[in-house]
Amino acid sequence: MGNFQQKKKSRNILQSLPVLILLTIVLCFFAWGVIRFLVKMGETSKNKKIAEMKVSELSQTKEKLANDIEGLKSERGIEENIRAKFGLAKEGEGLIVVVDDKNAPNLEDKKQNWFIRFWNNWFK
């Protein structure tokens, strides 16, 4: 019978208000830790995706630069590069210059309504 009373006493202590409050605080502490862990895990996942995108962009840039370097190793590639950067031409090559027509109809005139065009033409 003493054993039964001892179990009842320990059960009463575990079910007392201060012990339950303490256990609730401990439970909240652990729950907060789990929530923070999940948030950090989500941020890490986003950072991983960003890093993977940067790696793919850098690998594409690396391939492009490698192709440019291979192009510059040939005589034709060097010539194209010089022409693109400096606008040079070989002997005997001509130059075509395209000039805009100053008398071409203005697109803004077509967009304006008839009254505004009449008013503007009247005072020109």
pLDDT digits (tens, 9 = 90+) for 79-107: 888 888 887 777 777 777 788 777 766 65
Residue 79 lies inside a defined structural domain of this protein: yes
pLDDT for 23 beyond 80: yes
Domain that holds residue 57: 14-101
Tens digits of per-residue pLDDT, 35-66?
Answer: 999 999 999 999 999 999 999 999 999 999 99
How far apart, in Å, are the Cα atoms of 122 and each of 25, 93, 107, 117?
Answer: 86, 49, 19, 8
Q: Which residue type is seen at 92?
A: G
Cα–Cα distance list, 116 to 48, 86, 113, 122 (Å): 58, 46, 6, 10
Q: Which of 5-14, 37-46, 99-108, 110-119 has the highest mean pLDDT?
A: 37-46
Asked whether residue 8 is domain-assigned, the answer is no
Query: Helix crossing, 75-86 with 17-72: angle to 10°?
Result: 100
Whether 31 is covered by a domain: the verdict is yes
Q: The pTM is what?
A: 0.47
Give the count of domains, the chain: 1
